[in-house]
Structure 1
């Protein structure tokens, strides 16, 4: 099998008019079906390494498939805004059943050869050095009628009754609409698969071909292709990368200070990647709670089938709990994961300097505190680095790596190496209050509080954001973070950027009443025993108190904002702050902020990331809106000089170079 998959560069070339698109149906119908599947000689696919997208689609048109156990197999086309276009929508359901096929295609799930064999997607597993011989023997067996000659498109035994299929399609559509009201792509894909089930595989192939051709030029595909290449651009970092001029050390033993939700998530990610980990807590009760959280995280993977009982025990055995720093004498890295308390973090780093080896990486998970402040009381500031994980840390894919001018390249390389081993996507930024991700997020939450204090309903705000495609709105997010950390982070921003902060009393008033977010069952929402968030009308009392204290009046224009206007007043301040981040050199590229917004903030990937989305609207449009709001409501909305200059010259935010 020579095809690993379709070249995404070719897809971008077609979108940009640099490559001529093949005639509709030529690949899926004429070539792959008419020549390959209908061949008079048996075709057997030998899969080793990758059979992704087009690679798998060609394999499924063969008369048998032999794979190694570790091969990566899947149809991830939806991640670049198109559907499988070489017959994949029609053949996969016929090989593994409709439900499993929908799951694989709609989630872009990549599976290993062993699982593909279990599902019936491949016919046999072979060792890598026996793969070609096995495939050749299989082809001879088919030719000599010792094995059946199977054309995948003719198979229907795994499709089930039509009524059952319709129910499966209805359920898949409902789930797709629930995930995003504005993303049409999954629905288009479901329609194509259904056409083949209802009207036959040839009709399905033609619908697939026409839909694929239409989708290539859709905004969603152009946006997702941008995201694909933006991910590639994150690495390498000049002079600091795992294969560059500064090689990383071998990191074997890592200590984590703090076993709360964040710390236990980090521990889980580390031990799942075979690191030996020490978890340090302040007393037996807190330590046991931390260990229990890690066990719960591992049990969840056990239930999901991602770990077996033996692997569970082996993984958990990599973790040791301690109450002091004595065992830190031979650790290679420490990750501090306590609450956003400057003095507490300073105290911990004093202890770390005292007990850890002189070359130990000293990392902090702070989401907003200036690293120079954290390291103010120690003498080894060259070893301090920010490792900003996102909760839940064992699941969220991004790691924001923060360095100061003093941080040594070796320390950055070491953390980059660990990030790769725990399968995190690193975005490296320079130090400042809030770094890149929190600085982009903070104006959005500030604007949300501003709108509520001026009369807009909390739940309209969150609903507008989720309908846009984000996983949760700013108020649901603040509940998830917890008001203690939210207040501490807010104080950091108020000290660093006082002229562009809006100070609302809403969260402090709720915090005073021990209404502190999801962890306590009540925040902006109330939470039932299953953790489901429900609107809580008691919030209105706190809103009224907040308005009275600040002297804010209801604004009829804000009360009656449309959904689009709500989105703009929430997101344009975040774009404005992102412009300052670029202007100050905190982040290297706008595309880095696109990846950060998608993987840390839940910005919908089908919109291309925050900066790419902003460019689709135009810098002039965003600048005019912010300028008008600034005249009406004050400094919080004042456009940055970076945005103003780009708007004046009609330049995109992503345009490189000086202006």
Structure 2
């Protein structure tokens, strides 16, 4: 972005109103140049005798998307908090709110984070009805830092303000008007005119001159406020135990309730500066930028290719994955042909799609009208006759190589020449899938995660022959259906399943050494995973584990651990959540409960494994358990990076967060590993390899990084030019 495009302008009209406009495309973010410009223009407006009032707005239909997050990255790199400009006290409190001339915010499009905080520092807010308002700072490990923790509760009341901040929840300006955050609604055409008149009315005492920070009427009594804050603290401890910014936000709100808005603003500024350099903020800001870089693919997105329009997609297979994929496409207005082998299976698939859509309506993420529109875009098929005009096919049948090969040979003959031929396989080599076709350039992996209409990750798998156009088109479709596309190379398990295959295997090894199943799950959940490896196995179903067992054994050789624990579970009549009985007991509507009767299966497994030294259980700390499960995962991630299966380390971070539920507040797998340090991970794995064998043997990449002191995430020149490149 050229510096000249980032500016603040001021025009003074004959009516005496100064129109101050923030211009920093695309969302008018508060870059330091903008902050300096606002201070400059406000000072000028206050000085000038021909200015009686001010209207603050944003260029090109957007008010302001908040503070420029690039500044946080600079702070994290340097540790220099002074790079953060003083906005809260100097600009919002002193120049705007306490200024001798009234300010009115003219809001359109969005007013988020620092943008909404600027608006709340004005004496009135006029908005278009659909504008989005919110304070999403907590998603970056910080709290609102320009007075938002103080002014929002004073405008909308404590309960709504806490909900908006702690859940980073946006509201439309229409609701903002009902809540007291917005003073008046109008059309985009009338926005500036009405805002100017409102500002003049305040200046001429025809409308009240309200300073938000001084208000207390929406805060309730002290005992009410304490009760609300207490309940919010309890809830935050439950849902965000590893997120310090939640409790910090409540502390700062409480300070303002007890000692007044000005005291709250000062505490907010202090706590904000502490949080911005804390590990949680560093990790979450890393994830924010990592997610935005996944669509930058060298040789694809930088060669002036234009994505083709994908209007109609055929999905082969209406099972759990196929129906989920179809749902994701339909809600994004893409027509779908669902192909099945017989009428019964087709009807079941259509029912599952209808159920998925109904579920989205119940969750509030889809209206009934949109649900009906989505169903109208679905067409069932029992043969390929409707494939003649499809732009893409996504095959989602069971993991059987001959079946997939015959499907691809058939559709190649029927589909148009531009049609992309995608497979949702999670493990099978794409070269094998497309072996019997002449269209290797159109064959690509579209690996969705279950449930496909909800999980946000889309692994796009390319072979050496996949065309850049096919990759670009699938990236574009991924964005349309609101997925985060990560382009990866072709190998067994691709990026996510390959990196995380030791996750389950390590947990099985620990059980064979005498560690309690439920203790392992507790340790892993406390670390921040959504659930432990054994509950995950119950939920995913044992069929998946059994289906990939031989594939992994063949691909990964001596670093694959052979475990028959799942076989023994199945033999004992257990199928996990599917039949309500696995390591846990699953009752409808209830939480999973550990099943003590699983112990005899575990004892049988230990007897067969013969891993316990001298037949006695080993003694391990919780940290040992955590490291013995995750360090082999990091080790495999090193191999994935070394073989160029991913373009950059941060792609693996995003894939681990969105595909496996790795804690976002730890920044993703590789980012976390770098905070632990390669030398420590290498030394631990080396020690365990001596005791327990080659499963733990450090990879050459990890060894080299540990000895050279280079972070695991740093790109290497030899890696980029590697002959073994999968990309």
TM-score computed with the length of structure 1 as normaliser:
0.94
Per mean C-alpha deviation after superposition, the further-off stretch among 167-176 and 500-509 is 167-176
**CA offset at residue 453 of structure 1?**
1.6
Greater Cα shift, 551-560 or 518-527: 551-560
| Counterpart position of 2:262 | 202
Cα separation, 1, equivalents of 2:469 and 2:713: 30
Taking the aligned partners of 2:175 and 2:613, their CA distance within structure 1 comes to: 58
Which residue in the other structure is 1:236 paired with? 296
**Contact 1:454–1:555 (CA under 8 A) maintained in structure 2:** no
Q: Are 2:100 and 1:44 aligned?
A: no
Equivalent in 110, 113, 116 of residue 53 of structure 1? 113
- Bigger Cα displacement from structure 2, 335-344 vs 40-49: 335-344
Check conservation: 2:81, 2:273, Cα contact below 8 A. no
Which residue of 2 is the match for residue 493 of structure 1?
Answer: 552
In structure 1, the gaps of 5 or more residues are none
1:12 to 2:73 alignment: yes
Return closer, same or farther for 1:301/1:146 CA change in 2, 3 Å cut-off: farther
Cα offset, 1:638, TM superposition: 0.4
Does 2:120 correspond to 1:65?
no
Distance 1:37 1:450 in 2: 62
| Superposed displacement of residue 557, structure 1 | 8.7
Partner of residue 565, structure 1: 624
| Aligned position for 1:86 | 146
Q: Indicate yes or no: 2:715 matched with 1:622.
A: no
How far apart are the structure 2 equivalents of 1:384 and 1:531?
43
In the TM superposition, residue 19 of structure 1 has moved relative to its aligned partner by 5.7
Pairing partner for 2:412 from 331, 353, 369: 353
Q: What is the rounded CA distance, in whole Å, between the counterparts of 2:376 and 2:331 in structure 1?
A: 11
Q: Tell me: CA distance 1:338–1:67, structure 2 relative to 1, closer, same or farther (3 Å).
A: farther
Note the C-alpha offset of 1:646. 0.7
Deviates more, 1:601-610 or 1:158-167: 158-167
> CA 1:427–1:160 in structure 2 vs 1: closer, same or farther (change >3 Å)?
same
Query: Is 2:514–2:606's contact at 8 Å kept on the other side of the alignment?
Result: no
Q: Which has the larger radius of gyration?
A: 2
1:610: Cα distance to partner?
A: 0.9
Q: Is the 8 A contact 1:350 1:377 kept in 2?
A: yes
In structure 1, distance between residues paired with 2:217 and 2:396 = 53
| Worse-superposed segment, 634-643 or 213-222 | 213-222
Kindly tell me: are residues 311 and 235 of structure 1, through their superposed partners in 2, closer, same or farther at Cα, counting changes over 3 Å? closer
What secondary structure, in the 3-state scheme, does the structure 1 residue paired with 2:421 have?
A: strand
How many angstroms does 1:567 deviate by? 0.8
> Hey, what does 2:51 align to over in structure 1?
none
2:346 matched to which residue of 1?
A: 287
- Take 2:411 and 2:597, find their aligned partners in 1: how far apart are those partners? 45
After superposition, the Cα gap between the structure-2 partners of 1:134 and 1:343, relative to the gap in structure 1 and judged at 3 Å, is farther
Deviates most, 31-40 or 288-297 = 288-297
**2:402 — aligned with what?**
343
Tell me if structure 2 keeps the 8 A contact 1:259–1:279. Answer: yes
Residue 134 of structure 1 corresponds to which residue in structure 2?
194
1:110 & 1:215 partners in 2: Cα distance?
22
- Structure 2: how far apart are the matches of 1:120 and 1:257? 51
Q: Distance in 2 between the 1:123 and 1:254 partners?
A: 46
Shift of 1:395: 2.2
639-648 vs 147-156, which deviates more? 147-156
Superposed CA deviations along residues 365-416 of structure 1, whole A, max 9, x for unmatched, are 2222211222223332222111111222222222111100111111111101
Higher alpha-carbon deviation: 485-494 or 412-421 = 485-494
- Please report how far the alpha carbon of residue 15 of structure 1 lies from its aligned counterpart in structure 2 after TM superposition: 3.3
What secondary structure is seen at the aligned counterpart in 2 of 1:16? helix
Match of 2:359 in 1: 300
CA contact (8 A) 1:254 1:334 kept: yes
1:335-364 deviation line (CA, Å, top 9, x unaligned): 122333333333332332243222211112
Q: 1:391 to 1:317 in 2, by over 3 A?
A: same
Aligned twin of 1:435: 494
1:378 aligns with one of 437, 442, 453: 437
TM-score by length of 2: 0.86
Asked if 1:596 corresponds to 2:661, the answer is no
Contact 2:75 2:83 in 1 (8 A): no
Distance in structure 2 (CA, Å) of the matches to 1:144 and 1:605: 51
CA-based RMSD of the aligned residues comes to 2.3
Q: Paired residue for 1:313?
A: 372
Change (3 A) 1:161 1:454: same
Shift in Å, 1:531: 5.7
* CA distance in structure 1 between the aligned counterparts of 2:615 and 2:710, rounded to whole angstroms: 35
The Cα offsets for residues 306-348 of structure 1, whole Å up to 9 and x where unpaired, read as 3333232222222223333222221111112233333333333
Matches within 5 A, 1:138-287: 138-241=198-301, 244-287=303-346
SS state at 1:509 partner = helix
Shift in alpha-carbon separation, 1:331–1:169, aligned structure 2, 3 A: same
- Pick closer, same or farther for the CA change 1:66–1:342 going to 2, 3 Å: farther
Alpha-carbon distance in structure 1 between the residues aligned to 2:415 and 2:188: 44
Distance between the aligned counterparts of 1:208 and 1:120, measured in 2?
A: 23
Change in CA separation of 1:439 and 1:39 when aligned onto 2, cut-off 3 Å: same
Note closer, same or farther for the CA distance 1:401–1:479 as it changes in structure 2 (3 Å cut).
same
Deviation at 1:554, TM superposition (A): 6.3
Q: How many pairs align?
A: 657
Deviates more, 1:635-644 or 1:74-83: 74-83
- Structure 2 stretches of 5 or more lacking a match? 1-56, 59-63, 719-727
Alpha-carbon distance in 2 for matches of 1:39, 1:566 = 59
What's the offset of the Cα at 1:500? 0.7
1:57/1:88 contact within 8 Å kept: yes
Aligned partners of 1:588, 1:23: CA distance in 2, in Å? 32
CA contact (8 A) 1:363 1:386 kept: yes
